[in-house]
Amino acid sequence: MPLFKKDQSNEGPPAAPARARGDGSDAASVRSGVSLIGKNVKISGEITGDEDLLIEGKVEGKVNVSQTLTIGAGGQVTAEVHGDTVIVLGRVNGNVSAAQRVILKPSAMVTGNITCAAFIVNEGASFDGNIIMKNLDKKATPPAAAPLLQAKEKEKEIEKDKEKAKNNARNL
């Protein structure tokens, strides 16, 4: 076996890096179907998409994705953000909404209101704002809850009708 090789450039492509955990903790966790805003990128404006998004850079404006939105440990977001699931490892200054869940990892720093169906906070995360727990995914309403919602709507209609009747009686 020779100690020195003449030319190593045509020995084929380098091996692909091993897949990371996929929790958005670093840029190496990016997989196919995930868009990445790198740590040296700054975007001002509106970002929309139908695939997972990992933000490691700076974003100002509005972010709306229909899949998982991850603000990486290096990410700095000053925006209204929405995703199916929102995972925060970096900084967010603005309101956050998720159809499913919001997850704050230990390094997360969020200032703003959070609206979601499920909220998970890891020890060490920083959060300053209000939490509004509501199901933003209309099709995920459990069938058992539908009659209760219909009854509440009917009750509101009856109250409105009573108020109208009182006003009409006063005007006579």
149 inside domain: yes
The answer to whether residues 162 and 93 belong to one domain is: no
Report the relative pairing of strands 96-104 and 118-121 from DSSP bridges.
parallel
The pLDDT assigned to 146 comes to 55
Tokens 């209101």 correspond to 113
Check residue 84 and give its pLDDT: 95
Mean pLDDT (10-residue bins), the chain, 172 residues: 46 39 44 83 94 96 96 96 97 96 97 96 96 73 56 76 75 70
50: which DSSP letter?
S
Q: Which domain holds residue 145?
A: 141-172
Give the number of domains in the chain: 2
Task: Please check whether residues 125 and 163 belong to one and the same domain.
Answer: no
Instruction: Give the pLDDT score at 6.
Output: 47
For tokens 């309403």, what's the residue?
141
Same domain membership, residue 125 and residue 87? yes
- Whether residue 89 is contained in a domain is answered as yes
At 46 the pLDDT is 95
Rg (CA), the chain: 24
* DSSP-H helix ranges across the chain: 145-171
**Domain-located, residue 19:** no
Q: What is the pLDDT of residue 139?
A: 52
- Claim to verify: residue 128 and residue 148 sit in the same structural domain: no
3-state secondary structure of 111: strand
Report the distance separating Cα 16 and Cα 45, nearest Å.
Answer: 34
pLDDT digits (tens, 9 = 90+) for 59-69: 999 999 999 99
1 within a domain of the structure (yes/no):
no
pTM for this entry: 0.64
